[in-house]
Structures are given as C-alpha cells and as structure tokens.
Amino acid sequence: MILDEIIIRTRKRVALLPAVFPENGTRSHASLIGAIRSRESGNAVIAEIKCSSPSRGIIRRNVDMTMMAGTLAARGCVALSVLTEPYYFGGSGQDIARVKSAVRIPVLRKDFVIDERQIAESLALGADAVLLIAAVLKERLPVFVSLAQEYGLEPLVEVHSRSEVEAALSTEADLIGINNRNLSTFRIDRSTTRLLSGSIRSAGRTIISESGIMTGDDIREMKPYCDAFLIGSSIMAHERPEKKLEEFVCA
C-alpha cells in the first residue's frame, strides 16, 4: 500500500532529525480554530499548497511558496495548509517558513507525523498547527495530541472511520478532520464526512472536511456536516488558483 511506503520513507527522514531544535524567536502564533470559529462571511476554507500527490502525480510545477501563500491569503482562505512530505507530495519543511513569512493567517503543517521530534520541528519551522493522522499513530494518538498542545501547536486529528472518531474524541483535540480519502486505497467518498460528523458535532468539536472537494456544489452539499473545508488539489491544479479558491469561499 502507498501509505506503508510513505511511512517507510518517513522513518528514514525522521532518523536524520536532530534531538533538539532551536527556538523560533520570531514566531508569531495564529489560531486555526479561532480563525474558523470567527469566520463571519463566506465559507471557512483552508487552502492547501502542494505540488504533487500519489493519486494525481505532479499537480503544479515551480511553485513560489511565498507568492502563492500571499495570493491565496488575499483571496479569503482562513488558513493555509502546507504539505512538507518530499517524496510523494513534493514538499519541504522549509516551505512552512516561507509561507509563514508571507501571511498572518494560521499555517498548518501537513505531513506523516510518527515521531516526537517532528512536533518540535514543526514549532521550529513556524507552524501554528500540525496534522496528526489517527490511522498512522493508532494507540499513540493521545500522547501526540498532548505533546503538540504542550508545544503550543494546535493538533488537527484526521479520521476516516468510526473507530478513529472514537479515538479522536478520547483526546483533548478540538479540531477533527474527516478525510474523505481512504489512505489505504486512495479512493474518495465525500459521504464519509456526512456519516462521521454526527458524533463529532455532538461532542462540540470543530469539524474540517478534507479531500474530494472539486466544485462549489460540493461545498454546498457538505456545509451541513462540517465547519470548514481543507482543499488542495482542485485549487493548485487550476490555471488561476485564487479564482478557484474564491469559488469555494463564496459557494
């Protein structure tokens, strides 16, 4: 499975990380959950900057991270997600710093976190929030949620099944992302958000729907079941990413 291959590569990357990271003296924190909850008009869209993916291959070439971040932030996204996995998604940890330097809105580090050092690294790079995938961390999820919070990062826990929802709700994470993509098969089913949102909403957590959102009609379909949308490929693949973002924000 692709996920297994990604984790193997991630272990090799993590093995090269230092034990301690220098403090980021210039870091200015912005709250992801605050940005979502305080949205007054338009849809709360987290625009994801990514260059490629296992399912689509190369999405966009020669992306100027600083310029793209500024362009998307100016067109109404509540936050930016930055994919830092290099082998399958064409990212880099330094992309976080580049994006953060260009915007005041929250920046989410999206990667396959499997080691505590990646949390410290995320803080050092300047991220405001970090993705924690329930399917990857399994029984270690509560420890990583607590660790992220100790570092002053907001954990976004990603789920795809009812058992993963239960695991996420057993933690102190306020942000839960429902991935419509099955990471084992990479198939997308947007009904996943509808099917899993009930218990998360009953628990008072903030729901982000992830993956498979292609048009404004998709946004309108999903609105009753989530508080925000994380959208990457359909924005980045568009000839004018800022116009595609506007379609989602205004849907």
Active site residues: 48, 50, 110, 158, 179, 210-211
Q: Provide the angle, in degrees to the nearest 10, between the axes of the packed helices 162-169 and 191-202.
A: 30
Whole-angstrom distance, CA of residue 44 vs CA of residue 39: 7
SS3 label, residue 92:
coil
* DSSP alpha helix (H) spans, 170-240: 191-202, 216-222, 233-236
Q: Integer distance in angstroms from the first to the last C-alpha of the chain?
A: 35
Tokens for 138, please give them: 């399994």
Rounded-to-10 torsion of CA 159, 169, 115, 120: 110
Amino acid making up residue 203: A
Beta bridge partners of 155: 130
Q: Is the dihedral of CA 10, 87, 179, 209 positive or negative?
A: positive
Pair of tokens at residue 216? 């404004």
